[in-house]
Chain A
Amino acid sequence: MEKPRNQINRREFFFKGVLWAGLGVLGTTLAWIFDDLWSAAGRFSSARWIPVTPLNQLPLESVVPFPEYRIAIFRSGQKIGAISRECTHLGCLLNTVDRGFFCPCHGSDFGPLGEVYSGPAKDPLPWHDVVHREGRIWVHLGTKLDQPKWLAWEGHAPARVKEG
């Protein structure tokens, strides 16, 4: 008897079922292992998105330093940007002062937007990529941008914070 094209017999069905199920399990396991490795690797590298602060903790007009991530977050009204606070000379953590940034190690002075005011540092401070998700500001510490990437955002007025 000629077998219809779309029909399979029981034996074939069984083997194919086992095959596909096996492949599925294998694929899922591999994906899970990969995901685990990936997230573990991310935890120890800077090249990942870090939830830095809830948006409502950022004062409307402010530069809020985050020493643990070596960055400062700018907020000017509805604009938000993240600047690196690592000196471009030898990598010390910069102080946030009234008119910009100051390096306690060798006295480099940076302007409010990271421009070099006085040496020994020669390059302006780099910026980081920044996004807003689930009410938080996320910063990607792995990216270094020459130009600020401003995140425009509509938010409500928050409380006053200061460096810890």
Chain B
Amino acid sequence: MTNHKDLSWLNLLLLVATFLTLSLVVGSAYHGWEEDRALHHSEPGGHSGIIADITINLSGIPHQEHCLTCHPQGRNVKVSGRDLVLQKGHPPISPHSIDDLGCTACHLGEGMARDLVISHGRLGNEARKVLGGQEMQASCYRCHELKPLPGAEKAWEGFQVFSANACDTCHNVDGLAGGRYGPDLSEIGSFLGLKQIQKAIEDPKADPENSIMPRFSLSPEQIQAIAYFLKSRMRESLHETPMIKRVKMKEQARLRERGSEKVPDVGKAILQEKKCLSCHKFGKEDGQIAPDLTYMAFMRGEDYIRTFLYSPGKEIPGAVMPWIRMTQEEEKRVVRSLQEKGREGHLHGISAKHLYMMHCQRCHAAQGDGLGTIQPNLANFPRAFWKNQEFFRRIPDERIVKSIEKGIPGTSMPPYGELLGHETVDSLIHLIFREFIRIDRKEKGSDLIVPPRPAEMLPRDKTEKDFGKHCSSCHGVAGSGKGPEYLKYLPRPRDLTNRPYFKSIMDDRITLAISDGVAGTGMGPFRDKIPPESIWSLVKKIRELSGTDGKATKSN
């Protein structure tokens, strides 16, 4: 039936090959073991091996390492050719001793590696990179309690800076009862090296690009100090069992919460206590990260402030402000402190230029390009004035006035009308047109024609298809404004689920934005790409996404 040759000899061949491979594996393993034994072996007679293994006991667990082979008595060593040149000796570390702690407990590195790169921990994110010199203090608080410690001044300062700059409002560190808004840093030292931690604080948006962490105004020394402190937050505990660690954590958390009751109830002490001013501006104090709160309570009203404190994302979807843990009493005091400044406290009769510097510049920038100091931390891009003539030619003057006087719901733009008064707002708009937009305020383009509203909307599946084809790459499948390409655009794509924003604008305006695009943003015109009924169906879809279908209340 078959003409195949007899291949049974292959079986034998495979058997031999398997045997050979096996013996190779066993042979090399044996060779390695032999070599290891020869290197380590110290005979009872006194002859010691080349590699000096030491075993130390850290919290009941034996740790083995052989760092002392190249670093006798912990001395510094320089490699020159094939020789090791001994450098200066290990500084005195009493009351610690190498016999008790070994090397890697403080210096990190991989104690049992036999490779220069691996043993010095220069792999991956350098989480185990060997520490030396000044950097040694990054290890002190791995075992010692968090209180001032001679020799670890920098690391202690780092802890102070960490607390003072409200890092713990977002980041949890075990034992310090931090917030849960940002990534947990309790074990960050086991994942990142000193340099990596510094880089992440210096420029948070470098990696990942969509990080919501603001860039804090810290000096390089302060950042280094924070890195020393954070590096000591490691998973491996050297002196306490997990249970003891847990008990201590709870105790510290309780102490911390009790501590906050002692704040005197005067002026803005509560704003400092709750660390509002680490990010926000109030009066002369400025965190340079978040909006100016000096007149915020006056402009927004108490109800808004209270709702916002309870759930920032409800009033301004996408706001990066975390929820702050507060008792009702504390909340009342925060609101009262914010209400301290009203219209009476505001300077009268100052020039439009100074007003712009006082109120607008923080977000819209001194150049008027919208890239103000706090722009990266805002949920929505502040409107650019500079070189944005097209946009301002298109929108009616009343809308500009209204945006300033009534604010823009769902964004960080507060209503300035009551604070500044109609005339002042008018002069401000004049200034913006004169200095930044550089066109006459009355110069408007021809009116855009709203595509005719169809009698009947397209079926749902057709609209979904349109949305998937034209919108979701930027606005995202769920309309959250975070499609796969959203980082390519600044201003970022509009969050279509922004309820307060869409509640405040009429269907016509959404339709025009789709059909003719929005000048100065990544939103292009779709008038020629899709028919009017599709545009109107998409408007309906946006109404559904933002939960504002059927009741566009006020026009803007």
Contacts and interface: CB of A to CB of B under 8 A. Distances in A.
Contacts, number: 58
Candidate in B310, B313, B484, B486 with the most chain A CB atoms within 10 angstroms: B313
A93 B182 CA distance: 9
Given A107-B210, A111-B478, A67 B180 contact: yes
Given A65-B180, A118-B482, 5 more contacts: A93-B180, A98-B314, A98-B317, A105-B183, A107-B210
A99 B480 contact: yes
A69 interface: no
Nearest to A120: B208
Contact of A92 (B170, B183, B313, B486): B183
A111 B480 CA distance: 10
B480 A118 contact: yes
B480 A117 contact: yes
Contacts of A111: 478
A81 to B, nearest CB: 20
Interface in A84-137: 92-93, 95, 97-99, 104-107, 109, 111, 117-119
Interface residues of B, number: 28
A163 interface: yes
B507 to A, nearest CB: 22
A5 interface: no
Contacts of B477: 117-118
Contacts of B183: 92-93, 104-105
A102 to B, nearest CB: 8
Contacts of A92: 183-184
A98 B311 contact: yes
A11 interface: no
A66 to B, nearest CB: 10
What are the 9 A-B residue pairs with the smallest beta carbon separation, nearest first? A107-B210, A117-B478, A118-B482, A98-B313, A67-B180, A104-B182, A106-B208, A105-B183, A104-B183
A10 interface: no
A152 B416 CA distance: 49
A107 B208 CA distance: 8
A143 to B, nearest CB: 24
A92 B100 CA distance: 36
Interface string B202-221: 00000010111100000000
A12 B478 CA distance: 80
Interface string A55-79: 0000000000101000000000000
A93 B478 contact: no
A162 interface: yes
B497 interface: yes
Interface in A138-164: 162-164
A163 B484 CA distance: 30
A162 B325 CA distance: 9
17 contacts: A65-B180, A92-B184, A93-B183, A98-B311, A98-B313, A98-B314, A99-B497, A104-B181, A106-B208, A107-B208, A107-B211, A107-B212, A117-B478, A118-B482, A118-B483, A162-B323, A163-B180
Contacts of A97: 313
Contact of A117 (B313, B325, B482): B482
A108 B317 CA distance: 16
A93 B210 CA distance: 17
Contact of B476 (A93, A98, A117, A164): A117
Interface in B282-314: 310-311, 313-314
Interface of B: 170, 172, 180-184, 208, 210-213, 310-311, 313-314, 317, 323, 325, 476-478, 480, 482-484, 486, 497
A119 B208 contact: no
Nearest to B547: A99
A5 to B, nearest CB: 61
A118 B317 contact: no
A98 to B, nearest CB: 4
Nearest to B170: A104
B314 A107 contact: no
B483 to A, nearest CB: 7
Nearest to A67: B180
Contacts of B310: 162
A72 to B, nearest CB: 11
Nearest to B483: A118
A99 B496 CA distance: 12
Nearest to A90: B183
Contacts of A106: 208, 210
A107 B211 CA distance: 7
A98 B307 CA distance: 13
Nearest to B177: A164
Nearest to A95: B181
Nearest to B482: A118
Given A104-B181, A119-B484, A109 B317 contact: no
Candidate in A104, A105, A119, A162 with the most chain B CB atoms within 10 angstroms: A104
Contacts of A163: 180, 323
Nearest to A119: B484
